[in-house]
Structure 1
Amino acid sequence: PEEYVVCRVLQQNADSIIKEYELYEKLSADRFDANHEDHGLVSAPRLRGKWKYLHLLRENEGWDDELCASYFPITCRVLRETAPVDGVLRTDRQGNSLDCTGFCHAMRRPGPVAFYKLEAGASVPLHSGPTNQRLKCQLVVKAPPGGYAWLEVMGERRVVNKGDVYGLDDSYLHQVYNGGGLNKNETRVVLDVSFWHPGLQVIP
């Protein structure tokens, strides 16, 4: 993942981001909801009730300034300063992208920035994103230790642990699982960050 600037940002700031999330859990009422808001997601109806989401950045509404200021100032600042996340693609005078077609024409941003929470014993079946014109990096901010949570992409399964950072082309079929740990009561939470493919020209 180090080849992607977004993954490097998550790695470099992982401790601060995890601390902010842990403090949020202690101080705030649960503001997660079931609205994914990644409108190009394939098989989205099958995912309802699985993941829950806490959005820092919504595709059409922008950053949640209140949530950022109150609980996630470092997280939001470092990602706002990262052009592939919050930058716009080069366009002509008509607003058409100069670098890609299809998915990128329909969206000003590559996708949301959000914490994804998966309860103990829950899984998300095979699904995929809309395009490889955008990629994702994820930071695992909470997970049961001991191999109880995993991510599988195109048949390759990897155990995930707290502090892990990985890149993901979510246009490939993938699925996730959270066994919940020895007592089957631990949630799995990742910070999911969509960003434009490095091959595209992004303007901060």
Structure 2
Amino acid sequence: MANTEQGNRAAIEAADRALAADPRDLRALIAKGDALGGLGDSRAAASFYSSALRAAGDGAGLAPAIIAELRRARAAVQAQAQQFEAHLTSSLARAGFNPSTSSDRFALSLDLMAGRKRLYQQEPRFYLFPGLPQIQFQPRETLPWLASVEAATGEIRAELDALRAEPDLFHPYVEARADRPNFNSSGMLANPDWSALFLWKDGNEQPEITRRCPRTMAALSEVPLCRVPGRTPSILFSKLKAGARIPPHHGLINTRLICHLPLIAPPGSRFRVGNDAREWREGQAWAFDDTIEHEAANDSGQDRTILIFDVWKPEMNEEERALVSALFQAVDGYGAGGQAWGV
């Protein structure tokens, strides 16, 4: 035993000499990891194995012998990570943590720490209001009006059905603008796979449609719609054809939430915001931050249709809402903007 410990300490000294000359010496990094592991310090060993793996990059041009050593190092790192995760799980369970019932935010912090999920941040394309929380799907308890909107699902669906009898009313959601450059890198420009019928568009009522949707508008009468003249709210029926996809993208401003009320939601129609993926279910609404990367897919055999509207984030006070509205009115006073929040 003493000889083994002595040998490991001698190996550490030899590795340290090599690393002093070249901190990226792969053999020395692995050797020091082996020696530390032999002394029972698996976490320190994993740190040197991990350093060797980072220094090796894709392994191009390395000798087969060192490639084999790197594979062994990777296996050791993975084993240590599993042991560490098991230790944390058992320790936190004793402290009362239950992934099903405890804090969602704490559960996410563990997933991030363990590398099971990646961190998604707000990345608005045009305007960032600092200090707002990074929340993918807004907690229901912060949206007291959501349940009353859900309660009107049947009446809203009836009004939608009458409009669906006239399919020409729906137009591609992403339309070209004559006064701005148009890019189609995501394949959505003028694509009828994702279409919309607006009740309000860019802050302007579409009276010929709202007249036909009195129950829909009544259901939204107590909702804190995001109001910026000439820009928002937008209220629309959004249709995603069977088999269609909306690629990952980011929204425009982080001072609002986008709300979905599913009206026709066949199984297999789903939505992802950041690392939280959900299926739409008819009559079950949610609100999300669209400046966090999100995408949609309809892998069912039917079209999916939802009601979409935008509201102020509840963390925004009345003064802040008024100032954001004034800001974009000032932008528009300088030159035409409006459509799609293009500045």
Q: CA deviation at 1:134?
A: 0.7
Tell me: CA distance 1:44–1:166, structure 2 relative to 1, closer, same or farther (3 Å). Answer: farther
Residues 86 and 109, structure 1, Cα contact 8 Å, conserved in 2: no
Show CA shifts across 1:118-169 (max 9, x none): 0000000101111220111110011213xx1110111221111222211111
Give the AA of the match of 1:168: F
Residues 198 and 206, structure 2, Cα contact 8 Å, conserved in 1: yes
Q: CA deviation at 1:59?
A: 1.0
Question: What is the correspondence of 1:17-166 to structure 2 with a 5 Å cutoff?
Answer: 17-26=156-165, 28-36=166-174, 45=184, 46=186, 47-48=188-189, 49=191, 50-60=193-203, 62-70=204-212, 72-79=213-220, 81-82=221-222, 84-85=224-225, 87=227, 109-145=231-267, 148-166=268-286
Show CA shifts across 1:83-113 (max 9, x none): 621656xxxxxxxxxxxxxxxxxx6554411
Residues 6 and 195, structure 1, Cα contact 8 Å, conserved in 2: no
Picking from 151, 168, 179, the partner of 2:288 is 168
Q: Which of 1 and 2 has greater Rg? A: 2
Pick 1 or 2: higher relative contact order, CA cutoff 8 A, min separation 6.
1
Show CA shifts across 1:174-198 (max 9, x none): 0000012xxx2x1011111111122
Distance in 2 between residues matched to 1:9 and 1:134, nearest whole Å: 20
Q: Secondary structure at the match of 1:22?
A: helix
Residues 154 and 174, structure 1, Cα contact 8 Å, conserved in 2: yes
TM-score (norm 1): 0.73
Show CA shifts across 1:28-80 (max 9, x none): 3431111447x9xxx984232141010000114x111111112x11112332x
Distance in 1 between residues matched to 2:237 and 2:309, nearest whole Å: 9
Q: Determine if the alignment matches structure 1 residue 187 to structure 2 residue 303.
A: yes
Residues 259 and 309, structure 2, Cα contact 8 Å, conserved in 1: yes
Percent identity over the alignment is 26
Give the AA of the match of 2:142: E
Tell me: CA distance 1:15–1:170, structure 2 relative to 1, closer, same or farther (3 Å). Answer: same
Distance in 2 between residues matched to 1:189 and 1:44, nearest whole Å: 26
Higher percent of residues as helix: 2
Q: Secondary structure at the match of 1:171?
A: coil
Residues 262 and 307, structure 2, Cα contact 8 Å, conserved in 1: yes
Q: CA deviation at 1:2?
A: 4.6
Aligned Cα root-mean-square deviation (Å): 2.6
TM-score (norm 2): 0.45
Tell me: CA distance 1:131–1:29, structure 2 relative to 1, closer, same or farther (3 Å). Answer: closer
Which of structure 1's runs of 4+ aligned residues deviate more than 6 A? none
Q: Determine if the alignment matches structure 1 residue 197 to structure 2 residue 313.
A: yes
Give the AA of the match of 2:171: D
Tell me: CA distance 1:87–1:110, structure 2 relative to 1, closer, same or farther (3 Å). Answer: closer
Q: Secondary structure at the match of 1:85?
A: coil
Aligned length: 171
Give the AA of the match of 1:10: V
Give the AA of the match of 1:58: K
Structure 1: stretches of 5+ with no match in the other structure: 89-106
